[in-house]
């Protein structure tokens, strides 16, 4: 890290070529804020969509992208009481959602979206929008938690009542999905993982998948899932695609099953037949990351359960464009950028 000023990656318009390093002033923390020296930043697929102009068409420039970072507190505001200098913290992405119900309008205070992102050597968090990083994780591992892990945790441990021994079907092997798989194994759930790659499915088994389905060779993966569960269906599906894919998800569900809609990867619509939906008393729930208290609970669980995030590749702070490029390739595990 340079000693003169605050190095960042900043966009002046949409498109990866317009993401460039700049130097600015190190910010001053307000009375309730923390100044954090960034240690590592992880990427989510939505970061690429934002950089490409696909997700937030009315973004204000200049803009520093990405939402997930871990760092060390180097200064605190005059009124800060929850933290002290030297602690290692993660930023709460939906910064105005401490617990319980979300704010009436989401994403008015969201890191890497309405608020500035994390690709800076120094960032500022509100003290009410930060949590301690789990001591058992390295910086690189801890940086992966704020969106991918918390989304999986919230869908599984907060918005759904997990009954051990039940079955969960996890679509794909993206960041949220791999955390969901690790949580499922640790929570006593049977995880079925789908992918188009036998190689990735093998690695999913190593992470604790009970069963795997290659949806390329078995396009009727919903029927395959029913067969694996003696015709009963699975109790929970994490929907990562949307559109007609949700039809198969519905069909894969057991009576009283639950579909958590998480993904941004496919269609912008979701649709399914009403009659089986009513007859089986299905619940479909929309998920949007989670609140700070759930982040704290998750971190305690990660610590207690010894969960280690899966990292695909680590890039240096100078290689941000290469890191973004890697997202296209469908990594198995998170892409992380070190900031020091």
x-or-dash string of contact with its own copies, 321-340, rule CB under 8 A:
--------------------
* Cβ-contact 226, 196 below 8 angstroms: no
- Which range of residues in 56-64, 137-145, 300-308, 310-318 is near its own copies by CB under 8 A? 300-308
Q: What angle do CA 172, 100, 153 make, to 5 degrees?
A: 20
185 CB burial (10 A radius; 0-12, 13-18, 19+): middle
**Residue 79 contacts its own copies per CB under 8 A:** yes
- Which range of residues in 6-14, 115-123, 219-227, 274-282 is near its own copies by CB under 8 A? 274-282
**Residue 74 contacts its own copies per CB under 8 A:** no
* Residue with Cβ nearer its own copies (153 or 315): 153
DSSP for residue 86? T
Local structure of 278: helix, strand or coil: helix
- Which range of residues in 36-44, 116-124, 159-167, 314-322 is near its own copies by CB under 8 A? 159-167
Q: How far apart are CA 85 and CA 72, in angstroms?
A: 8
* Residue with Cβ nearer its own copies (212 or 287): 287
Count Cβ atoms below 10 Å from residue 13 Cβ, excluding itself: 12
**Member of 98, 208, 325, 330 binding its own copies (CB under 8 A):** 98
**Member of 190, 203, 226, 236 binding its own copies (CB under 8 A):** 190
Q: How many residues bind its own copies (CB under 8 A)?
A: 65
* Cβ-contact 88, 70 below 8 angstroms: yes
* Residue with Cβ nearer its own copies (2 or 164): 164
Local structure of 190: helix, strand or coil: strand
Which conformational region is residue 39 in: left (phi greater than 0), alpha (psi within -120 to 50 degrees), or beta? alpha
Structure tokens at 157: 């441990």
Would you tell me the crossing angle of helices 175-187 and 292-305 to the nearest 10 degrees? 60
* Residue pointed to by tokens 């395959």: 224
- Which range of residues in 61-69, 137-145, 171-179, 269-277 is near its own copies by CB under 8 A? 269-277
**Member of 74, 223, 272, 312 binding its own copies (CB under 8 A):** 272
**Residue 99 contacts its own copies per CB under 8 A:** yes
**Member of 58, 101, 206, 328 binding its own copies (CB under 8 A):** 101
Would you tell me the crossing angle of helices 245-252 and 221-228 to the nearest 10 degrees? 10
Closest CA to 287 of 169, 145, 170, 159: 159
> Min. distance of Cβ 9 from its own copies in angstroms?
26
**Member of 261, 327, 337, 339 binding its own copies (CB under 8 A):** 261
* Residue with Cβ nearer its own copies (70 or 250): 250
**Residue 205 contacts its own copies per CB under 8 A:** no
Within positions 126 to 155, which residues make up the interface with its own copies, using CB under 8 A? Answer: none
**Residue 54 contacts its own copies per CB under 8 A:** no
Helix/strand/coil (H, E, C) string of 65-85? CCCEEEEEEEEECCCCCCCCC
Residues that bind its own copies (CB under 8 A): 30-32, 79, 98-102, 104-107, 157, 159, 161-166, 183, 186-190, 210, 232, 242, 255-256, 261-262, 267-275, 277-288, 291, 293, 297-298, 300-305
């Amino acid at each position: 890290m340079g000693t003169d000023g605050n190095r960042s990656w900043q966009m002046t318009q949409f498109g990866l070529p317009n993401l460039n390093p700049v130097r600015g002033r190190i910010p001053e923390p307000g009375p309730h804020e923390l100044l954090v020296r960034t240690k590592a930043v992880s990427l989510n697929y939505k970061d690429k969509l934002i950089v490409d102009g696909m997700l937030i068409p009315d973004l204000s420039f200049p803009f520093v992208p990405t939402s997930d970072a871990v760092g060390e507190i180097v200064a605190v505001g005059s009124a800060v009481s929850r933290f002290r200098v030297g602690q290692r913290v993660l930023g709460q992405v939906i910064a105005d959602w401490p617990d319980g119900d979300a704010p009436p309008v989401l994403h008015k205070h969201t890191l890497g979206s309405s608020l500035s992102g994390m690709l800076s050597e120094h960032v500022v968090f509100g003290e009410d929008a930060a949590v301690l990083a789990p001591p058992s994780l390295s910086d690189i591992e801890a940086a992966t938690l704020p969106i991918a892990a918390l989304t999986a945790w919230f869908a599984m441990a907060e918005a759904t009542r997990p009954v051990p021994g039940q079955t969960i079907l996890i679509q794909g092997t993206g960041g949220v999905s791999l955390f969901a798989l690790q949580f499922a194994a640790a929570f006593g759930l049977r995880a079925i993982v789908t992918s188009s790659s036998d190689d990735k499915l093998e690695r999913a088994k190593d992470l604790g998948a009970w069963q795997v389905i290659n949806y390329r060779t078995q396009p009727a993966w919903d029927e395959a899932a029913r067969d694996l569960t003696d015709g009963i269906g699975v109790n929970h599906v994490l929907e990562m695609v949307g559109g007609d894919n949700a039809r198969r998800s519905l069909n894969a569900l057991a009576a009283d099953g639950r579909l958590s809609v998480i993904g941004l990867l496919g269609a912008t619509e979701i649709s399914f037949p009403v009659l089986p939906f009513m007859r089986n008393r299905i619940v479909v729930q929309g998920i949007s990351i989670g609140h700070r208290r759930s982040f704290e609970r998750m971190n305690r669980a990660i610590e207690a359960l010894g969960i280690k995030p899966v990292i695909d590749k680590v890039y240096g702070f100078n290689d941000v464009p290469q890191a973004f490029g890697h997202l296209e390739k469908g990594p198995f595990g998170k892409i992380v950028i070190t900031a020091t």
